[in-house]
Amino acid sequence: MTKRIKTILFIFMAICALLVTRLYYIQTVVGPGYSKEASSQRVNNVNIENSRGDFLDRNGIKLTGRTPKVTAVLKPSLLRGQNEAVDNICQILGLDPAKTKESLQRKNTPIIMEVDSETKDVLSQLNIKGISFVNTLSRYNTDTKAKHLLGYLNKVDQVGSFGLEKIYEKTLNYGKTDSIGVITDRDNNLLGGLGYRIIEENSDNKKLDIRLTIDYHIQSIIEKVLDEKGLTGAIVVEDVATGDIVGMCSKPDFNPNDIENYLLNNKKPLFNRAVAQYNIGSVFKLIDLASVLEKDQDYNMVFNCPGYIQIGDTEFKCSSYNVGGHGIMDINSALAKSCNAYFINMSMDLGAEPIISMCEKLGFGKPTGLSKQGIEEAKGVIPAIADLKNPGDVANVSIGQGQTMATPVQIADMIATIANGGIKNNINVVDCIVNEEGNKVRDLKETEQKRVLSKATSDKIKNLMEGVVNTGTGKKASIDEFGGAGGKTGSAETGQYVDGQKIVQAWFAGYFPAKSPKYSVAVFIEDGRSGGESAAPIFAEVGKEIMKKGL
């Protein structure tokens, strides 16, 4: 028995000695060779996509990553020698056959090219082994909504270069990269069982999305209206109760995938007109009204308009100048007909200080809540009281001419404040960060309310604004079948000329429905000549479509 145990023990020890010897041999003698051989394997990647978080509308509808994208993958090591097949591929893809064959011969790195579904079908019918397809989602295309707000990515490294893409780059880019790779040995031959494959570089970070206050359907409506009419301008829609921007568009716009093609375009498609400052014309008369009514709720001057008013050496004309004037005007008819003479006379009595003070209360001449969310915007221009040195300066300001300027966002917010009973909300367009399940991770909104007008004043102004639509210059903004609307037209002279013609900016700013306002809308048409003719019909179309869809 003892002899048998000794024999087994000897055999066991011998086996252990052999294993130790073999391990030593591998580690010290042939190990460096194995290491060199392993390191001689190469992985060459071609990036397909850097995955990013998406932008969502207020209801969770995706604004990015909505369109299917097909990437054709040409595999050089499998296509070499297939000259006829390569010729067919080049003809379908519009590639140079000689250069393509040279590239296929020289390297194994896959060649990738985005194709449409029809091209994919044609290539698939060739039944060529060396071509395959990867289906993903395109982040942007020509139909992407709110392009000026979202921005775009750098074409080289897919990093946010402008707009919200740039502002929230660190949140959206969570480190996941998908690529097509080829694994070869030291002699550049494909390794059996490996070869071409999709390589996913995962990150410990989880995908996060940015939810905006934009409503996808409202955004679609306002973009479609301007597109169909081929107009240059902007539309902003604000939720009266919250101050949230639910629609904001600027036209013309651009394809975010081809930014370089727009850099020298004289129509400035990359310029966001929704947050740019412009002369606002007679829309300013709402500020005059707010100023005088806060001082005297019963104000109702009666004035005989001869079609002009003389202030010093300057004659300020009304739209009725050529027909001998508006005649007898009270506060209702003066706003409805947008009588310059009436409002200038009223402002002369009131003085500059209350008007400029009201501008500041309503948010003019300073950034809105969009700046707090990182969005570049003009702050507008209101003159300092010290600069209004003579009655002519005050007259100019009171009808929105001269250097007084505001953005479409500021105008929409002024209307929302009036429609909200005099309560001004902080403006937001970015809501929060959410995870893949749609749960809020971090709030990005700043909510603040402040009463800047008495309810009595706002109610009086609303009544007058409804008169503008019902009987005045804003008749073409009427949406009576959907509860009516209130608003104000504006035709602002800029002092600029093109081909001898004055550039006149056209505005309509209003709210709807009349009795229980839900949305305020600012319509700006660049060189639209007349707010009542160019901008008011746009407002009506937007309002009707929103109400039809029950948004």
Look at residue 144 and tell me whether its pLDDT is greater than 90: yes
Which pLDDT score is estimated for 205? 78
Q: How far apart are CA 486 and CA 465, in angstroms?
A: 5
Q: Are the C-beta atoms of 329 and 464 separated by less than 8 Å?
A: no
Residue 24 burial (C-beta neighbours within 10 Å; 0-12, 13-18, 19+):
exposed
Nearest to 52 by CA among 62, 41, 42, 44: 62
Identity (one letter) of the amino acid at 209?
A: D
Return the minimum-mean-pLDDT range out of 12-21, 134-143, 372-381, 525-534. 12-21
Q: Which two tokens stand for residue 439?
A: 């749960």
Dihedral, 507, 509, 514, 519 alpha carbons, nearest 10:
130
H helix intervals, 322-446: 331-337, 340-350, 352-361, 369-372, 391-398, 408-419
Q: How far apart are CA 344 and CA 394, in angstroms?
A: 8
Confidence of residue 195 (pLDDT cuts 50, 70, 90): low
φ/ψ (deg, to 5) at 72? -85, 135
Which pLDDT score is estimated for 178? 66
| 305 DSSP 8-state letter | E
Per DSSP, which regions of 221-326 are E strands? 233-239, 245-251, 278-279, 303-305, 308-311, 314-317
Q: What is the mean pLDDT of residues 239-262?
A: 96
Q: What is the mean pLDDT of residues 262-267?
A: 91
Q: What is the mean pLDDT of residues 185-193?
A: 53
pLDDT tens for each residue of 358-398: 999 999 999 999 999 999 999 999 999 988 888 999 999 99
From first CA to last CA, the distance across the chain in angstroms is 94
pLDDT tens for each residue of 423-436: 999 999 999 999 99
Confidence of residue 35 (pLDDT cuts 50, 70, 90): very low
Q: How far apart are CA 334 and CA 330, in angstroms?
A: 6
Confidence of residue 136 (pLDDT cuts 50, 70, 90): confident
Which pLDDT score is estimated for 223? 98
Confidence of residue 13 (pLDDT cuts 50, 70, 90): confident
Q: Are the C-beta atoms of 246 and 214 separated by less than 8 Å?
A: yes
Q: Which two tokens stand for residue 42?
A: 């190469």
Q: Are the C-beta atoms of 543 and 479 separated by less than 8 Å?
A: yes
Average pLDDT value for the chain: 88
Which pLDDT score is estimated for 177? 66
Which pLDDT score is estimated for 17? 72
Q: Are the C-beta atoms of 293 and 460 separated by less than 8 Å?
A: yes
Cβ–Cβ contacts within 10 Å for residue 245, how many?
Answer: 31
Return the minimum-mean-pLDDT range out of 90-104, 188-202, 303-317, 470-484. 188-202
Confidence of residue 16 (pLDDT cuts 50, 70, 90): confident
Q: Which two tokens stand for residue 542?
A: 């937007």
Nearest to 240 by CA among 513, 51, 57, 547: 513
Look at residue 278 and tell me whether its pLDDT is greater than 90: yes
Q: What is the mean pLDDT of residues 209-230?
A: 97
Return the minimum-mean-pLDDT range out of 108-122, 286-300, 303-317. 108-122
Which pLDDT score is estimated for 389? 82
Which pLDDT score is estimated for 338? 96
Which pLDDT score is estimated for 365? 96
Confidence of residue 196 (pLDDT cuts 50, 70, 90): low
pLDDT tens for each residue of 487-516: 999 998 887 877 778 889 999 999 999 999
Confidence of residue 312 (pLDDT cuts 50, 70, 90): confident
Query: How is 92-148 classified by DSSP, letter by letter?
Result: HHT--HHHHHHHHHH--SPEEEEE-HHHHHHHHTT--TTEEEEEEEES--TT-SSHH
Which pLDDT score is estimated for 333? 96
pLDDT tens for each residue of 76-95: 888 888 888 888 888 999 99
- Enumerate residues 6+ apart whose C-beta is below 8 A from 172: 52, 53, 160, 165, 208, 210
| Residues 110, 113, 114, 118, CA torsion sign | negative
Confidence of residue 402 (pLDDT cuts 50, 70, 90): confident
Q: CA 452: distance to chain centroid?
A: 29
Q: CA 465: distance to chain centroid?
A: 30
Q: Are the C-beta atoms of 521 and 509 separated by less than 8 Å?
A: yes
Q: Are the C-beta atoms of 281 and 296 separated by less than 8 Å?
A: no
Look at residue 28 and tell me whether its pLDDT is greater than 70: no
Which pLDDT score is estimated for 36? 40
- How many residues does the structure list for the chain? 551
Which pLDDT score is estimated for 120? 87
Nearest to 280 by CA among 14, 489, 546: 489
Confidence of residue 41 (pLDDT cuts 50, 70, 90): very low
Look at residue 38 and tell me whether its pLDDT is greater than 50: no
Which pLDDT score is estimated for 288? 97
Q: Are the C-beta atoms of 515 and 497 separated by less than 8 Å?
A: no
